[in-house]
Chain A
Amino acid sequence: MTADVTEVILLSLKVTTASVLIGVLIGVPLGALLGLSSFPGKQLLVAVIFTLMGLPPVLVGVIVYLLLSRYGPLGSLDLLFTPEAMIIAQVVLVTPILAGLSLTAVHAKERSYWETAKSLGATPFQLMLTILREARGGIWAGVATAYGRAISEVGAVMLVGGNIEHHTRVMTTAIILETRTGNFSAGLQLGLVLMAISFLFNSFLMLGMLKQMKTGRRYSS
């Protein structure tokens, strides 16, 4: 049952990268906005985001499956068992993570940064960009976390993707198949590749955080 390994790895990378990219576009500005502004109901929204961060992936899979099933509301879109469905599920999974961690990162930046930018005449948009850039360490941590979560996810992608050969088979679902058919070594090899990729992204995270820690503010007057 040794499928085309390169194909499987590439699909994993494609699906996860697309999902994280979309998640960043939605989640990071959302988190930044929440971290910077205050409005009635903000507490509730923040609580919702943090709860969604802990969504069990397989539950996301079930929900997306039910939505996309031919018997479900979005059945006519014919999206079930496609890479697009997998991306949808993973976007639902990673966006709260990205929003929550961006929120935390931005929030951790002291008010003085916000005030400095404002007093220099920033528009709300410019302000958000400046703070995002300042909080980039924490945001990168969020991206690395989201990537790691998405690429090693198996329940949701199995449900909405279907592990179809050449089409929706990713590393995680391939590992399940290899193990089921008794090809433990093939399963472990794929697992190692998966780990190597996860490691890669976590080293980005580590480097980013180390950079942050090294250059603290030194007021050595």
Chain B
Amino acid sequence: MKQLELHNLKVSYGGRTVLQVERAFFQQGRFYGVVGPSGSGKSTLLRILNLLERPLSGRLNFFGTEIDLAHLTYKKGIPIQRQMGYVAQKPAMFQTSVYDNVALGLRYRGVDKKTIRRLVMEALEQVELAHLADQRADTLSGGEAQRIALARALVCEPTLLLLDEPTASLDPYNITIFERVVQTFHREKQTTILMVTHNLPQARRLAQTCLFVFQGEIVETAETDTFFNRPASPMLQDFVMGRMIC
């Protein structure tokens, strides 16, 4: 079974080390929840994986392809980039129609018009926003925008899906739709998913394995059940119990 492997990752901002991972493995097709206090480096981990930032050092084995993250050029990274999908906490909507936003990734990949039409409308229906296809994307409400961002990422059928607190500012209705779509996608496509969340019940609902990131390090990794019910490290215990002061 192919894996996603991280080795010797070190990320620094202005002399301060924000993330340090000696070794980390992610199994293909598994749903990972990433939790931890604010500022612990969770988002950084996702951004590094999504090649949005360059670490000081780090090697990534992307399901068989070796990459030196510290010296990867934009161009060289594109094939890997195109196998990933990313949904930010506050996604950027381009000043064009919802349809165009969702179609963007496919257009970058040179997919033909007919296929784009089919895939985009399918994705929009999945997130229950097909009726908004022609609306300007920058006039959407928060919940709608998030769902569109999800559709936009999923329509390219990524092997690795990265979600950075995607439902943090959504109401329960939108959260439900969002989670349902993600779960369906995971089940049908066997995508590897890394989801950063502060919503611990959500992590329990969706993730198979959870990671606890604390002060720039992955302190504990365990299957969800064990993670929440029998946390090994005292820090995780505090965190899970809501006792962690940060």
Contact = CB atoms under 8 A, between A and B. Distances in A.
Which interface class (under 10, 10 to 19, 20 to 34, 35 or more) fits A?
Answer: 20 to 34
A201 to B, nearest CB: 22
A215 B90 CA distance: 17
B95 A119 contact: no
B167 to A, nearest CB: 11
A121 B108 contact: yes
A110 interface: yes
Given A117-B104, A120-B152, A215-B136, 10 more contacts: A115-B88, A119-B81, A119-B86, A121-B81, A121-B82, A123-B78, A124-B75, A219-B169, A221-B141, A221-B171
A200 to B, nearest CB: 25
A145 interface: no
Which interface class (under 10, 10 to 19, 20 to 34, 35 or more) fits B?
Answer: 35 or more
A122 interface: yes
Contacts of A216: 138
B75 A123 contact: yes
Given A124-B74, A134-B95, A118 B142 contact: no
Given A215-B95, A217-B93, A123 B52 contact: no
A119 B84 contact: yes
Contact of B78 (A110, A112, A121, A217): A121
B95 A116 contact: no
Contacts of A134: 94-95
Contacts, number: 78
A220 interface: yes
A116 B81 contact: no
A113 interface: yes
A115 B52 CA distance: 6
A118 B169 CA distance: 24
Most interface-central of A113, A120, A123, A134 (chain B CB within 10 A): A120
B109 A221 contact: no
Contacts of B145: 219
Contacts of A220: 141-142
B51 interface: yes
Interface in A116-140: 116-124, 126, 130, 133-134
A110 to B, nearest CB: 7
Interface of B: 50-52, 74-75, 78, 81-82, 84-86, 88, 90-96, 104-105, 108-109, 136, 138-143, 145, 152-153, 156, 169-171
Contacts of B74: 118, 124
B91 A118 contact: no
Given A116-B91, A118-B81, A120-B152, A217 B138 contact: yes
> Closest 9 A-B residue pairs measured CB to CB?
A221-B142, A121-B82, A120-B105, A119-B86, A112-B92, A219-B142, A116-B92, A113-B92, A122-B108
Contact of A116 (B88, B96, B141): B88
Nearest to A126: B108
Contacts of B52: 115, 118-119
A32 to B, nearest CB: 15
A216 B139 CA distance: 7
A123 B108 contact: yes
Contacts of B171: 221
A112 B94 contact: no
A159 to B, nearest CB: 42
